[in-house]
Amino acid sequence: MRGCLEDPFHTKIDYLGPGPEAGLLPAFFYFALSGEESLELHPYNQPALIAAHSSLRVFSFTIPGHEPGLNKFQAMHYWAEQMEQGGYELEIFFDKVVKAIEWLISQQLINPDRMAAGGLSRGGFIATHIAARVKEIQTLLGFAPLTELMLLKEFAENPTLHRRASELDLVTLIEKLTHVRHLRFYIGNLDTRVDTDACYRFIRRLAEKGHEKHLRHQKIELMITQSIGHKGHGTAPHLFEEGANWIKNQLYGEK
């Protein structure tokens, strides 16, 4: 079932899976493009379609730069322009999503003990920020995830953005991700769009923090695969399937 909800703050929440009448269920928050496209547009929607289940809901939200009337292929230019103008579009979006998740929990539409987040490219960046802000999210998945904004051409063209952009790099979230029990990122071995080495640096720092704090509950995985597509930034269909099935295993496994 494909549906849409709206929280008291008028945030639109798109979803796949059983309707509200089914009550408390595990939840996977998936980010890629707009809420609709993340669930409907091939191939970006493949993780959502595969993860969707008769007893699981996949939720999605429209990422900044993907609203109606905007060119989704220029979304990173939009992020950079908003930041250059002093805007806090991303931070505002993170807050909206967190409030929406809190509302879904309060409405008993989500089992707070079985929550996961994930995303594709910029969606992986978004999902990690959300996981850092929602302690109930203990499973995190990323496909070719963006980890450092200044590595993108759209940001690198304007060095004055460095301070603001670096404040949002995933490495700044490490202390806030220590509650995550299961994390899996997939990255191409030569991804020159979001940078394979940057993804590895983040995973290495996260693993080091876990070792430092003796976090025996954490399982952190980085799957380095053959690069495909433009700038090596593609994700193969079998990896979407593998990652989505991994999410289902985490959400239905023993807690």
Kind and range of the H or E run holding 16? strand 12-16
pLDDT at 255: 44
Distance of CA 117 to the CA centre of its chain: 6
Q: Which secondary-structure segment (H or E) carries 76?
A: helix 75-84
For residue range 85-99, list pLDDT tens digits in order: 999 999 999 999 999
Say if CB 122 and CB 136 are below 8 A apart. no
Residue stretches of the chain with pLDDT short of 70: 254-255
Count of all residues that appear for the chain in the document: 255
Report the distance separating Cα 224 and Cα 177, nearest Å: 21
Q: pLDDT tens digits for 36-80?
A: 999 999 999 999 999 998 899 999 999 999 999 999 999 999 999
Which pLDDT does position 1 carry in this prediction? 86
What is the rounded distance in angstroms from the CA atom of residue 162 to the CA atom of residue 160? 5
What span, in angstroms and rounded, lies between the C-alpha atoms of 231 and 192? 5
Give the whole-angstrom CA distance, residue 84 versus residue 81.
5
| From the candidate CATH numbers 3.40.50.1820, 3.90.230.10, 3.40.220.10, 1.10.150.120, the one assigned to the domain spanning 2-252 | 3.40.50.1820
SS3 59: strand
The greatest distance separating any two alpha carbons of the chain, rounded to the nearest whole angstrom, comes to: 50
Kindly report the pTM of this predicted structure: 0.97
DSSP per residue, 153-176: HHHHT-GGGHHHHHTTSGGGGGGG
Tokens at 188, concatenated: 């191409």
